[in-house]
Amino acid sequence: MVASDTLLTGKQLETLSINTIRTLAIDAVQQANSGHPGAPMALAPVAYCLWQQFLRFDPEDPIWPNRDRFILSNGHASMLLYALLHLTGVRAVNPKYERLGEYAVTLEDIKHFRQIDSKTPGHPEYHVTSGVETTTGPLGQGVGNSVGMAIAGVWMAAHFNRPGFPMFDYNVYAFCGDGDVMEGVACEAASLAGHLKLPNLCWIYDNNRITLDGPADESFTEDVTARFKAYGWNVTHVADANDLAALGSAYDQFLQTKDRPTLMVVDSHIGYGSPHKQDSSAAHGEPLGEEEVRLAKKSYGWPEDAKFLVPDGVREHFRDGLGKRGHDLREKWMALFGEYEKKYPDLADHLYRMQHRDLPEGWNKNLPTFPADAKGVATRDSSGKVLNVLAQNVPWLVGGSADLGGSNKTTLKFDGAGDFQAGSYAGRNLHFGVREHAMGAILSGMSLCKIRPFGGTFFNFSDYMRPTIRLAALMEIPATYIFTHDSIGLGEDGPTHQPVEQLASLRAMPGLMVMRPADANEVVEAWKVIMQLRHEPVALVLTRQAIPTFDRSKYAPASGVAKGAYILADAPGGHPDVILMGSGSEVQWCVAAYEQLQSEGIKARVVSMPSWDLFEHQSDDYKEEVLPPEVKARVAVEQAATFGWSRYVGPTGKVIGMQTFGASAPLKDLLKKFGFSREHVVEAAREAIARSK
C-alpha cells in the first residue's frame, strides 16, 4: 500500500495514516534506545479517529481560545502526540502568544526524541512544545488537569457567552491508562467531576491490562466501569481499539451526553501489530529491538527497512480533515469575536486580557491598608480581605478551598460571587471537598485555560499537593496556593497539623515563589506581586494567629516586599553590629529584640524576608545593601526547620527554629518551649556578635 502510485481510498488513507503514527513512534523510540512504543502503537487508531473526525483544533493556531483540549495523561506514550503534532502540521507559538509559522514538531525533532534540548522530550512538556496542552507523565496528573480545563470551559461559557455568541463551548479529551485510574489524584478529580456533572469532559481509558510491573491483574482487579458509574459518569465501551466505526460512535455518544462527564473504555493490546511482544511489558517500557521492529512493520504492510517514513498523502489527509475543520471553526470564531467586541466591548476586553494573562484596568483599586496595631490580625484574615477586593476587580480570579474555606479565608463573599456547582457554573467559589491533590491539579488546568485560580488548605497539607505544585512550577503557570495555619502557631491540634519542614521543602522547588508575609500590610504587597506574575506559581503562607501590624511611620514601608527582603528597621547611620532576620510571624520577635538591643546601645538591623525567591532575583548590590557581607553577626528566626538559613546567617550566625515536629499545647506554651521570644532572640544576637569577633 505504501509504495502504490494509485489513488488511495478513504479506508486505505485511514490505515496508512494510523500506521504512519505507529511507525514514527517505533522508529523514534528505537533510535533513542529509550521510550515506550507499545501504547502509541495500540492507541494510534483511537487518537486518529478523535483528531481526524472530532477534535476542534486548528493546527495553524494551537492557542485559539475555544479549541478542544487534548491531554495525553499517560504521557509515556508521548510519541503518539508528537507524531500527531507533526503529521497535522501544528505551528509553533512563542511565550508572547505570537504564531511563528514554523512547525512545532518537525521530522528532525522526532528523530531527536528524548535528546538534549529537543522539542520531543520523554514526556510532553507544556512550555517546550506548541500543541502540548499540559505537562504529563506522572500518572493521574493529566486527567486531574483535564477536570480543571473542563471547569474553566463551563465557567467561561457562563461568564462570557451571550445569546448568539457562544464564545466558549470547547470539549476536553484526555487519554489515560490503568496507571492513571489507579492514582489517587485521578480518583479525587473524577469524583469531583462527577459531582459537578461536567458535560464537556471525556476520558478515554486505554484498557490494555498491562502496567510496567506486569499484568494489571496482579494488583488491579476492580470494576472501573462500576466505579465511574458510581461517580456519576456516563460510561461507554469499545471492545476493539482498531474499530474506527465503534470509536466514532463512542465519541458521538459523548457529544450527545449533556448532563455528565464521559468515560470511554477502549480495549486494546499494547504493542498491537508486534505479534511476539503484543502483551509484554518490554513493548511498553523499552524499544522493540531491530528484529521486532521489522516484524511490526511487516504486519502493517510497511517497508521493513524504511525509517521515519511519512508516505505521500498522509499529511494532506490530515490537512483536509482536522486542518480544514479547525481552520473553518477558528475563522468563524474570530469573526464572531469581532461582532462580540462591538456589542459587548467590556466583556471582549476582559476575554482578550484574560487570554494574554493581562490584568484589567483598576485591578489594584480599593485595596485595604491596615493601621498599626500591637495585637494585630492573622495574615489569613488580612489575605481574605485583600482577596475579596481583588476578585471584584479581576472577574476571572476564581478559586476555593479543600474543605477549609472558612479557615483559609478563601471564600469570596461579595454580591454575585456565588458558588460553582452543577447547573450553576458562573459561581466564583469552588468547593473542592477534602481533595487537596486534585485541587492542585485542577488549579493547573484552570490556569492553562488562562483563568487566574487560587486554592487554599492548611500548610501542612501542601504535602498532599506537592506533585501538582511541582508540575505547575515546571510549566511556569501562575496558580496561587493559599496555605494557612503555617507553623506551631496552630497550637492544640499538635504536630500532626503543625508544618515544620514544608517551608524548606517548597523553597527548594525551582520556579515556585514562596511568600510568607510578616504583617497585614505585607500581605497586601504580596498579593500585588502575585497578581502581576505570569509565569510563576506562588505558595502564599499565612498565619492562623493574630500578629502585630507594624507602625509604618516608624518602620520601613511594606512595599519592600516586592524585592523579597528589605530593611524593616535599621541601626543609626545604617551600620549595624547584628542583623536580625525572619519571615512571617517571627519578624515580630526580631522587632522586639531590635528595640531592646537599641536601648542597650547595641546597633541592630531587622530584615523582613517574606520571599527568598524574590530576594535572590535582585541585583548583587541590593542584596549586599540589605545583608552587608562585613556584618557577620546574624540571627534568623522562623518557626520551621532551619534548613536553608545558613546561606543567609553564615558560619558565625545563629538560627532559632524547629528541630522537632512541635507539640500539642496552647500557643503561649509552645513559644516558651521552643524558644520563640524577644529574650531568646536578644540572647542569640549577643552570642552571634561574640562569635563574629
Please give the C-alpha separations between residue 328 and each of 156, 157, 524, in angstroms, as whole numbers. Answer: 22, 21, 46
Handedness of CA 71, 77, 78, 79 (dihedral sign): negative
CA distance 344 to 385: 30
User: Which amino acid is located at 467 in the chain?
Assistant: P
Contacts of 283 (CB under 8 A, 6+ apart): 37, 38, 41, 270, 271, 274, 277, 292
Owner of C-alpha cell 491540634: 493
Segments in 314-367 forming alpha helices (H): 314-318, 324-343, 345-355
Cα Rg for the chain, rounded, in angstroms? 28
Handedness of CA 202, 82, 310, 93 (dihedral sign): positive
CA distance 336 to 593: 64
- The greatest distance separating any two alpha carbons of the chain, rounded to the nearest whole angstrom, comes to 97
CB of 196 closer than 8 Å to CB of 186: no
For helices 244-256 and 38-49, the axis angle rounded to 10 degrees is 60
Closest CA to 583 of 552, 602, 606: 606
User: Which amino acid is located at 243 in the chain?
Assistant: D
CB burial readout 242-256, b (16+ within 10 A) else e: bbbebbeebbeebee
Closest CA to 379 of 252, 279, 522: 522
Question: Which residues are designated catalytic?
Answer: 436
Owner of C-alpha cell 510491573: 213
Instruction: Report the 10 Å Cβ neighbour count for 620.
Output: 7
CB of 670 closer than 8 Å to CB of 649: no
Please give the C-alpha separations between residue 233 and each of 179, 192, 225, 265, in angstroms, as whole numbers. Answer: 19, 11, 9, 12
Instruction: Report the 10 Å Cβ neighbour count for 666.
Output: 9
Q: Which three cell numbers stand for residue 196?
A: 459537578
CB burial readout 629-646, b (16+ within 10 A) else e: eebbbbbbbbbbbbebbe
CA distance 518 to 607: 11
Based on the number of CB atoms within 10 Å of its own CB, is 196 exposed (0-12), middle (13-18) or buried (19 or more)?
A: buried
Per DSSP, what are the bridge partners of residue 373?
Answer: 549
Q: Which three cell numbers stand for residue 149?
A: 480545563
CB burial readout 455-490, b (16+ within 10 A) else e: bbbbbbbbebbbbbbbbbbbbbbbbbbbbbbbbbbb
CB of 556 closer than 8 Å to CB of 567: yes
Owner of C-alpha cell 536601648: 599
